[in-house]
Each structure stands twice: as structure tokens, then as C-alpha cells.
């Protein structure tokens, strides 16, 4: 029978030779391995000071994009919520009133946009399903918390803060999705 991994080894019950029964050569070989690891480069990343470099298409915390004029892209169509395999997204839609044209790009917008980060599996299907370029996953690591309620990320935690923090660059992910690479 062909094995799955080609890593299986034949087991034999042969009598151990004298040098094997002494165990000392085996112990010395073991000591050699541990001392090799002693001088090996360490894998640790000292987290708060050092941070791991993410790949360009890393899937982290979500961002709700705005367009060039600072208007929210999201029209609360609900496709992301449907696409979400973890059912993490809930949207409450509302109609844009007169005078709010500078806030929302189209006539319908998301009054509430909640993502339950305890459910979210960071698969990125929401951004793939979005027809309005509104939601993207960013390189930002979703922050941890002690309180379960704090894991439901509301709209104000995710919408791009263009006035104070500037735009979040998602061009790598956008291009990746268009080329089918992500």
C-alpha cells in the first residue's frame, strides 16, 4: 500500500547492540542537538517593541472606506453580511437625508455596521462580495480585550478617520482581489 506522506518507517524488534544498550552514544547525540539549538538564532519577536512584518495582503482589522470627497462608500446592501460565513456582520440601513450628501456617497447608508470580532474568521469574503469598494481588511491587528462586549466593533471603530489620521492604504488588497490572488 502506498503511504500518504512517504515518512513512515519500518519498525523492527531487533536486539539492541551493545553501544545502543549503553545509551551513551545516543545521549551524546542528544546533547549535540540541544547545544546546536542553544546557539541557534532565536525565533522570538519581542512583541510590543518589535513587530512582525506582515505580508502585503495580511487580513487584519476591517476598515470602512470613504471616497475621495470623504463620503462613506457603504450603501448597506447587505451583501457582506450574506457572504460572511461566520455571520459576524449585522447592518441597519437608513436613508440619506437632505444635507447629508457630504457624508454618504449614495442615497442609502449603514446607520449601524457591527462586526462581532469573536465570530469573524478574517476570511476576507466581505471585501470580495462588496460591490462598492466599501470594506477592506487592513494590516492593523484587531485589538484584544477583557470584556466580551468590547469585541463587537461598531461603525465608529472601523470607518476611516480621514480628517485626523488620513486614509488607510488598501491598494495591495484591492489589486489582489481584482487579480484573484487574495
Partner 1 sequence: MEIIIFKIFLVLALFLLSITIAAYSTFSERKVAAFMQDRIGPNRAGPFGLLQPLADGVKMIMKEEILPASSNKLLFILGPAISMVTALMASAVIPWGPDITIAGTKVHLQVADINIGILYIMGVVSIGVYGIMIGGWASNNKFALLGAVRASTQMISYELAMGMSIIAVIMTTGSLSLGNMVTGQSGWHGMAWNVVLQPLGFLIFLICAFAETNRTPFDLPESETELIGGYHTEYSSMKLGFYLFAEYINMFLSSAVISCLYFGGYNFPFMDIVQQNTGEILFAFICFLVLMTKILFFIFFFFWVRWTIPRFRFDQLMNLGWKILLPLSIINMLITGTIILLNQ
Interface with partner 1 (CB under 8 A): 24, 27, 30-31, 33-35, 37-38, 40, 42-44, 46
Longest dimension (CA), the chain: 92
Query: Smaller CB distance to partner 1: residue 31 or 94?
Result: 31
Element containing residue 156 per DSSP (H, E): helix 155-158
Q: How many residues does the chain have?
A: 182
Query: Smaller CB distance to partner 1: residue 22 or 140?
Result: 22
Could you tell me the smallest distance in angstroms from the CB atom of residue 152 to partner 1? 33
Query: Smaller CB distance to partner 1: residue 9 or 41?
Result: 41
Could you tell me the smallest distance in angstroms from the CB atom of residue 39 to partner 1? 8
Measured distance CA(137)–CA(125) in Å, rounded = 10
Radius of gyration of the chain (CA): 26
Could you tell me the smallest distance in angstroms from the CB atom of residue 42 to partner 1? 5
Query: Smaller CB distance to partner 1: residue 46 or 149?
Result: 46
**Coil, strand or helix: which one is 110?**
strand
Any bridge partners for residue 137, and if so which?
62
Could you tell me the smallest distance in angstroms from the CB atom of residue 55 to partner 1? 23
Any bridge partners for residue 113, and if so which?
91
Amino acid at each position: 500500500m502506498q503511504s500518504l506522506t512517504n515518512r513512515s518507517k519500518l519498525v523492527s524488534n531487533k536486539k539492541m547492540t551493545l553501544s545502543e544498550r549503553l545509551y551513551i552514544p545516543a545521549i551524546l547525540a542528544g546533547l549535540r542537538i540541544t547545544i546546536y539549538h542553544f546557539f541557534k538564532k532565536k525565533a522570538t519577536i519581542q512583541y510590543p517593541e518589535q513587530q512582525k512584518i506582515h505580508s502585503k495582503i495580511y487580513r487584519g482589522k476591517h476598515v470602512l472606506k470613504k471616497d475621495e470627497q470623504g463620503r462613506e462608500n457603504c450603501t448597506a446592501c447587505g451583501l457582506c453580511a450574506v457572504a460572511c460565513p461566520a455571520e459576524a456582520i449585522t447592518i441597519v440601513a437608513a436613508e440619506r437625508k437632505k444635507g447629508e450628501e457630504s457624508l454618504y456617497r449614495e442615497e442609502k447608508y449603514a446607520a449601524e455596521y457591527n462586526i462581532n470580532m469573536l465570530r469573524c474568521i478574517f476570511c476576507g469574503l466581505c471585501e470580495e462580495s462588496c460591490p462598492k469598494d466599501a470594506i477592506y481588511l487592513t494590516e492593523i491587528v484587531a485589538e484584544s480585550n477583557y470584556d466580551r462586549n468590547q469585541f463587537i466593533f461598531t461603525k465608529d471603530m472601523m470607518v476611516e478617520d480621514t480628517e485626523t489620521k488620513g486614509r488607510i492604504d488598501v491598494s495591495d488588497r484591492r489589486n489582489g482581489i481584482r487579480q484573484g490572488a487574495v
